[in-house]
Chains A and B, each alone.
Chain A
Amino acid sequence: ILNVEQSPQSLHVQEGDSTNFTCSFPSSNFYALHWYRWETAKSPEALFVMTLNGDEKKKGRISATLNTKEGYSYLYIKGSQPEDSATYLCASPDSGAGSYQLTFGKGTKLSVIP
């Protein structure tokens, strides 16, 4: 079972602030890194799937970078808005029996204060 860690555990920012948080994963036998957003009372939603070292993905004000050699990924939110309040999860696939099960970190809970 992979060890996927996220920091910080929670974060409070003012509306308009930019913020970022970290996902750490084992750099050996790397397959991919997934990011999800989980809003309260909704289901987790996939944001990005990243596979290559140096990968950078962007979706609106949210972007992510990947460093597979050192085993970390950053998620950035530019100009945070109240609707960005959610728990952000990262996950890394682990190979077994012909499929790639996802091991999730415990998430970073972001609260954007209006």
Chain B
Amino acid sequence: KAGVTQTPRYLIKTRGQQVTLSCSPISGHRSVSWYQQTPGQGLQFLFEYFSETQRNKGNFPGRFSGRQFSNSRSEMNVSTLELGDSALYLCASRPDPGRNQPQHFGDGTRLSIL
């Protein structure tokens, strides 16, 4: 069974630009979550989608948005990039957003803002 696939793996952008990251979940998983990881901050929850609906959103500005398609694939968009957005962005999937369901993570997209 293929794992969670994130594209691209690496991305370099400049301030003010926007970026779209993609995530394909494990087949059969309908819940997709996004996390940001920066040094010293740990994994910060961005949002979770289930059945094409955003179920939860973390404490991030409106520049961070996402969506989920009918095949459960998800995209995350960041507009008006800032230097502080440089981070590793991890996508995770699970069959449903239940409390006992562990997350299955992708390898992440490393975003660098110049």
Contact = CB atoms under 8 A, between A and B. Distances in A.
Contacts of A95: 99
B41 interface: yes
Query: Which range holds the interface residue count of chain B?
Result: 20 to 34
A97 B100 contact: no
A44 B31 CA distance: 17
B48 A34 contact: no
A21 interface: no
Nearest to B59: A1
Contacts of B58: 1, 101
Interface stretch (B13-21, B61-69, B70-78, B102-110): B102-110
B56 A97 contact: yes
Interface residues of A, number: 28
Contacts of B106: 43
Contacts of A89: 42-43
A43 B90 contact: yes
A103 B45 contact: yes
B104 A46 contact: yes
A49 B102 contact: yes
Interface stretch (A11-19, A61-69, A72-80, A104-112): A104-112
Contacts of A101: 33, 45, 48, 55-56, 58, 97
